[in-house]
Amino acid sequence: MQTVTEISALRERLGDSRPIAFVPTMGNLHAGHIDLVRVAREAVGKNGIVVVSIFVNRLQFGPAEDFASYPRTLDADLAQCDAAGVDIVFAPSEVELFPTPQTLSVEPSQIQHVLDGAMRPGHFRGVATIVLKLLNIVQPAVAVFGKKDFQQCLVISELVEQLNLPIRLLLAETIRDADGLALSSRNGYLSADERREASRLNRVLRVVVEALQGGRRDFIALEDEAMAQLSRHGWQVDYVSVRRGKDLAAANPTDAGLVVLAAARLGKTRLIDNLEVTLDAPSA
C-alpha cells in the first residue's frame, strides 16, 4: 500500500492503471469503512486499484460543529487500510486541496435543505464540493458511499447524474454493532452509559418500520411517538421522519419505497440513522 499526500504524486502513481474504485472518507476508520473497501475491491477485482481518501473537510462543518475536535487517527487508519488490501491512501493536507480559498462550490438541489440540511445549513454544499474535487482528482470508475448517510447518498447521486460524471456509484448497506447501533466515527464520543443508550435510536426506527409494515400510514403520529420515546430517555431529537426514499419528499400513503430517518443528540454526540422500507403497493 502507498500513502500519497500530493495530487501530482497521486496522478503519477495512478498513471493509466484502471479500473479505479474510490472510497472517500474523513478517517477515523471503523468496520463500516472497511466494508466500503470490500465493496470497492469486489467492484474492480484484484487487478483494479482501490483508493481511499482521508481528509477532514472543513467545508461541511458548521461554525459550532466538531471540525477542530473531529478524531484524526491517521496511523491507525493506514494500518486498517493496509490490512484491508487498499492500494493507495490519498491523505492530502488542507493546503494541497485548498491552495486558495474555495470560492466556487457545488449547490445541490432543494434536497440539501431538508432534514440534516435544515439542521446543518451548508453541510451538503460542503460535501458535494469536496466530493466533486476528490472525484476529479482520483477519476475513478466506481465510487462507494455508505447508506448510513442516506441524504448524502442522494446528494451525491444527484451530483453524478446532473454533472454527467462517468462514475458508477455503489451505495453500501449500513454496518451495525450487535445491538443495532450504526457504526460511526462519532460513536467514539459516547460515554459508557451513553453507548448503552445509543442503540435505542435504531430500535425506535425499527418500531416505526414495523408499524408501517403493519399498515399504519399516520406518518406524523408515528414520528411523534418515536420522538417522544427518545426524548423520554434523555435524547435531544432533531427529527424522526418518514420520507419518500428516492427524493426525501414528504411520504404519501400510496408510496411503496420509504425511508425512516432520525437524528438526535445524546449528551454532546449527534447520531443519525435510517431504515429503508418497501411496502406492498396498495391494492386497486
Active-site amino acid positions: 33
- The answer to whether 43 touches 168, Cβ cutoff 8 Å, is yes
Among 28, 57, 151, 174, binds ligand PAF (CB under 6 A): 57
Does 149 bind ligand PAF (CB under 6 A)? Our answer is: yes
Shortest spacing between CB 25 and ligand PAF, in angstroms = 5
Q: Which residues pair with 25 in a beta bridge?
A: 54
**Segment interacting with ligand PAF, rule: CB under 6 A, options 22-30, 38-46, 108-116, 213-221:** 22-30
What distance in Å separates the CA atoms of residue 114 and residue 243, rounded to the nearest whole number? 11
**Segment interacting with ligand PAF, rule: CB under 6 A, options 8-16, 21-29, 136-144, 228-236:** 21-29
Among 127, 135, 143, 167, binds ligand PAF (CB under 6 A): 127
Does 24 bind ligand PAF (CB under 6 A)? Our answer is: yes
- The answer to whether 181 touches 199, Cβ cutoff 8 Å, is yes
Does 140 bind ligand PAF (CB under 6 A)? Our answer is: no
Helix-helix angle 31-44:74-83, to 10 degrees: 40
Q: Which residues pair with 176 in a beta bridge?
A: 182
- The answer to whether 89 touches 10, Cβ cutoff 8 Å, is no
Shortest spacing between CB 260 and ligand PAF, in angstroms = 20
Does 130 bind ligand PAF (CB under 6 A)? Our answer is: yes
Residues found in the chain: 284
Among 10, 21, 26, 171, binds ligand PAF (CB under 6 A): 26
Residues in contact with ligand PAF, total (CB under 6 A)? 10
Amino acid identity, position 63? P
Does 80 bind ligand PAF (CB under 6 A)? Our answer is: no
Shortest spacing between CB 215 and ligand PAF, in angstroms = 35
**Segment interacting with ligand PAF, rule: CB under 6 A, options 18-26, 157-165, 173-181, 240-248:** 18-26
Torsional sign, CA 208, 108, 124, 56: positive
Please, which residue, 172 or 181, has the CB nearer to ligand PAF?
Answer: 172
Applying CB under 6 A, the residues found at the interface with ligand PAF are: 24-26, 57, 60, 127, 130-131, 149, 152
